Amino acid sequence: MDSIRIKGGQALKGKIHISGAKNAALPLLAASLLTDEALTLSNVPHLADIVTMSNLLGQLGVGISLNGHAPGGHTGRVVELKAATLTDVVAPYELVRKMRASILVLGPLLARAGEAKVSLPGGCAIGTRPVDLHIAALQKLGADITLDNGYIHARAPRGLRGAEIIFPMVTVTGTENIMMAATLAAGETTIVNAAREPEVVDLAHCLVAMGARIEGIGSDRMVIAGSAKLHGAAHNVVPDRIEAGTFAMAAAITDGDLELIGAKMDHLNSVATILAAAGIDMTETADGLRARRANGALRGVDVMTEPYPGFPTDLQAQMMALMCVADGASMITETIFENRFMHVPELKRMGANITVHNASALVRGVPMLTGAPVMATDLRASVSLALAGLAARGETMLNRIYHLDRGYERLEEKLAACGAHIERVKEAA
């Protein structure tokens, strides 16, 4: 398995192109199942999770072609997907276990084909992460669902019918699954307590371009009027706010100055507010956002993760790395996932002073971290260790980086171009 070697201490300076959002691209790819016409997606990031989803869709009969890059530099790939006829309704364990977001084929497949058999997912080891809310909501839309041998077997031979779905907690992929299914259901579906993440909004806009009728996009109550058929469309994937937030923190932790090309302030307001309190300036530029320390010092701040528009759980680990070298203490509370502090023992091996009590971590800033061999256990934990390594004295070897490749496009290239001493070390064959 490859590793990443980092020699810390370089201030990052320059411009970084923000890729298309993984968490938007995944449901958008799955939306291709809803129509027999072509869906063309541009600004698709080149990531392991995207390959996994493409393989899964290919297995279901979706024709996929890569049409190169859109004009304008690092603007991601153009992917054309055409599900003229579906040849299978099974999402097998071998593919689903690699990526929990495979559950996103359940809603569209069921709505279009009247049947879907999707393995219960695996994915990041950040808590139990059940899919009970997806299942209950699809049952409410009239699906008959059984669990057989680790598979969710959903059937709706006479089609789905609209209903009122009240999610007891905000679920991002749950909202996306039901929104997609409802576009082909008979009658009207209301989703109450819907997720409002920019990736959910991006999917909604694409579905509308495909002919779906959706009201309340971007709010916590969406009304979807079902249609008999959707048609093809072309759609550009939104920039990755988590990647942008990660690089803003990379600028801050190294006392650098980065321009994040394509990043949108609209999607990062809660992050910018917290970073401002910690002594980091995030300002809009003509092409994106600029991030740097306001006056040299980093201050400890308290952070609590929340569904959008709150501070994202997907930036919690990176924020913790930053707080490890801030002046004073910081209390970081994780409210979305249990067991999402797996970066803590590794950060401590680099000299961080962190005490975890239930869902909160008390981080007392230290003047300097020191490089160490560390191991990544989930996607965002991995990148938080990379950030710590960029600021640390000496060498950090980041092992088991396959999670990083699931979610960050050319991470080491992008950082190296801004002055980081970082390289991928290929495992000897």
Total residues at interface with ligand UD1 (CB under 6 A): 21
Contacts of 61 (CB under 8 A, 6+ apart): 83, 84, 85, 86, 87, 88
Closer to ligand UD1 by Cβ: residue 74 or 340: 340
- Greatest Cα pair distance, the chain, in angstroms, is 64
Binding of ligand UD1 at residue 316 (CB under 6 A)? no
Binding to ligand UD1 in span 351-410, by CB under 6 A: none
Closer to ligand UD1 by Cβ: residue 378 or 412: 378
Backbone dihedral region of 164: left (phi > 0), alpha (psi from -120 to 50 degrees) or beta?
A: beta
Binding of ligand UD1 at residue 167 (CB under 6 A)? no
Angle of CA points 53, 229, 217, to nearest 5°:
70
Closest CA to 192 of 168, 172, 162: 168
Minimal distance, residue 151 CB to ligand UD1, in Å: 16
Provide the mask over 93-112, with x wherever binding to ligand UD1 is found by CB under 6 A and - wherever it is not.
-------xx-----------
Minimal distance, residue 131 CB to ligand UD1, in Å: 4
Binding to ligand UD1 in span 172-201, by CB under 6 A: 172-174, 199
Binding of ligand UD1 at residue 25 (CB under 6 A)? no
Considering only 77, 112, 134, 343, the residue that binds ligand UD1 (CB under 6 A) is 134
Considering only 19, 23, 52, 75, the residue that binds ligand UD1 (CB under 6 A) is 23
SS3 assignment, position 68: strand
Minimal distance, residue 367 CB to ligand UD1, in Å: 32
CA 177 distance to own-chain centroid? 15
Closer to ligand UD1 by Cβ: residue 126 or 415: 126
Binding of ligand UD1 at residue 156 (CB under 6 A)? no
Provide the mask over 112-131, with x wherever binding to ligand UD1 is found by CB under 6 A and - wherever it is not.
---------------x-xxx
SS3 assignment, position 306: coil
Contacts of 372 (CB under 8 A, 6+ apart): 349, 350, 392, 396, 397
Closer to ligand UD1 by Cβ: residue 203 or 326: 203
Under a CB-based contact definition with an 8 Å cutoff, are residues 329 and 365 in contact? yes
Binding to ligand UD1 in span 242-261, by CB under 6 A: none
Residue 281 has phi, psi (to 5 degrees) of -90, 125
Binding of ligand UD1 at residue 327 (CB under 6 A)? no
Among the listed ranges 132-140, 178-186, 214-222, 357-365, the one in contact with ligand UD1 (CB under 6 A) is 132-140
Residue 57 has phi, psi (to 5 degrees) of -65, -40
Minimal distance, residue 315 CB to ligand UD1, in Å: 10
Active site residue 324: no
Whole-angstrom Cα Rg for the chain:
21
Distances in whole angstroms, Cα of residue 196 to Cα of each of 123, 157, 172, 174, 306: 23, 31, 8, 12, 12
Minimal distance, residue 119 CB to ligand UD1, in Å: 15
Hey, what are 248's tokens? Answer: 């803003």
DSSP 164-230: EEE-SS--HHHHHHHHHHHHTSBSEEEEES----HHHHHHHHHHHHTT-EEESTTSSEEEEE--S--
Minimal distance, residue 248 CB to ligand UD1, in Å: 18
Minimal distance, residue 109 CB to ligand UD1, in Å: 17
Question: d(Cα 270, Cα 245) in Å, to the nearest integer?
Answer: 11
Closer to ligand UD1 by Cβ: residue 26 or 390: 26
The site for ligand UD1 (CB under 6 A) is made up of 23, 26, 100-101, 127, 129-134, 169, 171-174, 199, 313-314, 336-337
**Which residues are identified as catalytic?**
124
